[in-house]
Amino acid sequence: MMIDPNMQHNQTPQQAKTVEIVSVSDFFEQINWYGKNLADADGLMLESAAYGTVGHFFSTFPWRGSTSTLPSDNVRTDSDSEVFSIEEDDTLTLEDLSALF
């Protein structure tokens, strides 16, 4: 079947109004990659946060489901390697694993 691009499909005048076409690159440009001037549902303005590193970006995620702090509260200025401790805290270590077998 040939499709007429100008076909109106029984549209009402309101439905017939032009739909804004956004290209993929436009779409990605609209994303607020740097987290600037974001307003949350309560109208609070989040602090402008330019994420210098991937580590900073992920440190702003509320991983534990906590909503008591704004994501920008968690932004740290130290380096990637300092954001994540590889040493034991309250997590398993090899010795814990050994004890289980």
Interacting residue ranges for other proteins, rule: CB under 8 A: 81, 85-89, 91-98, 100-101
Among left, alpha and beta (phi > 0; psi -120 to 50; other), residue 70 is beta
Q: Is the CB of 27 or the CB of 101 nearer to other proteins? A: 101
CB of 23 vs other proteins, minimal distance in Å: 30
Q: Is the CB of 16 or the CB of 54 nearer to other proteins? A: 54
Q: Is the CB of 1 or the CB of 86 nearer to other proteins? A: 86
Looking at residue 31, the DSSP 8-state letter turns out to be: S
Looking at residue 47, the DSSP 8-state letter turns out to be: P
CB of 54 vs other proteins, minimal distance in Å: 9
**What dihedral do alpha carbons 30, 34, 38, 44 form, nearest 10°?**
180
